[in-house]
Structure 1
């Protein structure tokens, strides 16, 4: 592999394998990458505020700039006494050291016309925390040059644009990921709930070419030991002052389906604790209101630190903005990734209706009741905030699959539990050969896999 710096990048990755990094997605093409012990800190392609993203208060040791556009070059907005790894522009392969880290800069183009349409773009590769990372900036070429391909071999983390128009689109990004085969590819430069140019693609179009996309929160830790065996493609939430998760699974970064129950965590001044006491659920509790993509959502509980609400049943897939309003004033915002189906599980009841537990186990061949949310649209449609009907029941559009330690369980019913709001019920039969154990893992798959619940099974 050519180049002293590239060789040292790989050597450093092997020597520092225990450190790892913490990656925070700010938005657009901006990430904060912190080494496991806190320093050094690298910030990539910082945007101006008008793009929709606020730069963090953290002090940087290194700021990388791939090209000279304002959504990538706002070094003036970054705090700290940092070194700029500057790609504005790089016309020949270049190597440099900053904050004790080795950086490789590879010249390239913002378009597929050798820069005639949008100018130059620089690919930047470096090693940090024992991992080899590369940021493609606003890569717009339809293919890598030989020099670029050689410089991007054996990557652990690849930051790749996928929003199209100004850069390669999602389909081209998928081909590039397949060619380079990094351990982790993190998508960037697409529109989110907070902003980005109007010409960029949104979710789910940005993720469509990737069959097994992994949804991640705004901040993720990664070490060599936790790298996946094969390539994973991640879409991360942009950093925000509140976090929305599925009330059933509480999995950070996981998407929700229309009609799901969501919990919003943050600081919501001016709200006093209050729970809804009647149906349909109110769209306002006390002074509090939650807007999802501009529509008021039904509220079950509000407090200064947590709000439980139901995602509107007609919310289109994508990443709508969630706003917490107090007396009409926005006090917090969060992104919410919505997909057609996203199962998440609350609890399991035995055939006799008792909650399953090691002291109250299920038996083989019995029919258990699994309760959760995330089934997506139902027939008939039940308005959000309203109790689900009795016969005819509101059935899920597609039948879920239930797995008990990998064994398929026959599903006898799947639909909304009558009398409850947005509560999905699945009746499934425990396989005759199911393991006898107080904590057999149970998972529901419907588009995506649910969180795992332990199922106690006894003779």
Structure 2
């Protein structure tokens, strides 16, 4: 399944399986309006980009977003009939894809308060649980997730850095870890090497940027 997962830039992820899934589409050079489901983790501009949503969505695309983004989605002209609004800890199924919503927030930093109800997601695709963390720290909710693949921010500043992200991965123990949220707006490309050096075997680090 990992071969069907691509990271466009930053935290912009596409999974091209039977259902085409995007997470936080951002800086898409082009897209084929092919999204079955678009997940948005929170409303910062580098995660909620209506311009990029337009590039990959179509009239049948479904959306999964934090419940606190209802007004933002209405302003963007995306109807509630196409949108599943999620709370931390909730589960749902959209287009046949099982979804768990995981709280995503900072423990000490001010950028992503827990009260905002922002999210990461676990989706089950081809029998594999894929956890896209969103902008988070090494929280109790993140450490409790069980998954096969984790897409974890490593760029620091607004989220956990490379070494803290590796600590999270070493707790969760997925089969594969994919570093995201580095190398463009925040973090250096070399952060991926730091991250990989701190992840304990047998977890495989796959660098997609």
Q: TM-score range by the shorter chain?
A: 0.7 to 0.9
Bigger RCO of structures 1 and 2 (CA < 8 A, at least 6 apart): 2
Q: 1:65 aligns with which of 21, 26, 40?
A: 40
Matched, 1:78 2:56: yes
Q: Do 1:92 and 1:107's aligned partners in 2 also have CA atoms closer than 8 Å?
A: yes
Gaps of 5+ in 1: 1-18, 214-228, 238-459
2:9 to 3, 27, 34: 27
2:25 to 20, 30, 46: 46
SS in 2 for 1:26: strand
The alignment's TM-score, normalised by the length of structure 1, stands at 0.37
Specify the alignment match of 1:149 in structure 2. Answer: 143
Shift of 1:43: 0.6
Which whole-Å deviations, capped at 9, do the CAs of 1:213-234 have from their partners, x for residues lacking one?
Answer: 8xxxxxxxxxxxxxxx921112
Aligned length: 184
Deviation at 1:91, TM superposition (A): 4.6
Encode CA deviations 1:217-261: one digit per residue, 9 max, x unaligned. Answer: xxxxxxxxxxxx921112113xxxxxxxxxxxxxxxxxxxxxxxx
Cα distance in 2 between the residues matched to 1:190 and 1:61: 26
Matches within 5 A, 1:121-140: 121-139=118-136
Instruction: Please say if residues 44 and 63 of structure 1, whose CA atoms lie closer than 8 Å, have aligned partners that are also in contact.
Output: yes
Q: Larger radius of gyration, structure 1 or 2? A: 1
Secondary structure at the counterpart of residue 167 of structure 2:
helix
**Contact 1:65 1:88 survives alignment (8 Å):** no
Higher strand proportion (structure 1 or 2): 1
User: Which deviations, in whole Å up to 9, do the C-alpha atoms of 1:34-86 show, x marking residues without a partner?
Assistant: 12xxx211111112x3xxx4252250111111111111112333222211111
Provide the residue aligned with 1:204 in structure 2. 190
Q: Is the 8 A contact 2:133 2:142 kept in 1?
A: no
The structure in which a higher percent of residues are helix is 2
Q: 1:172 aligns with which of 164, 175, 185?
A: 164
CA distance in 1, matches of 2:7, 2:88: 29
Counterparts in 2 of 1:15-414, with a 5 A limit?
Answer: 22-35=4-17, 39-47=18-26, 49=27, 53-74=28-49, 75-80=53-58, 81-87=60-66, 89=68, 91-109=87-105, 111-113=106-108, 116-119=110-113, 120=116, 121-139=118-136, 141=137, 143-145=138-140, 147-150=141-144, 152-153=145-146, 155-191=147-183, 196-197=184-185, 200-211=186-197, 230-237=202-209
The runs of 5 or more residues in structure 2 that have no matched partner are 69-85
CA RMSD of aligned residues (A): 2.4
The question of whether the paired residues in 2 share the 8 Å contact of 1:59 and 1:78 is answered with yes
Query: Against the structure 1 CA distance between its residues 29 and 209, is the aligned structure 2 distance closer, same or farther, given a 3 Å change threshold?
Result: closer
Contact 2:175 2:204 in 1 (8 A): yes
Kept after mapping to 1: 8 A contact 2:163/2:198: no
Q: What is the CA deviation profile of residues 289-331 of structure 1, one whole-angstrom value per residue up to 9, with x for unaligned ones?
A: xxxxxxxxxxxxxxxxxxxxxxxxxxxxxxxxxxxxxxxxxxx
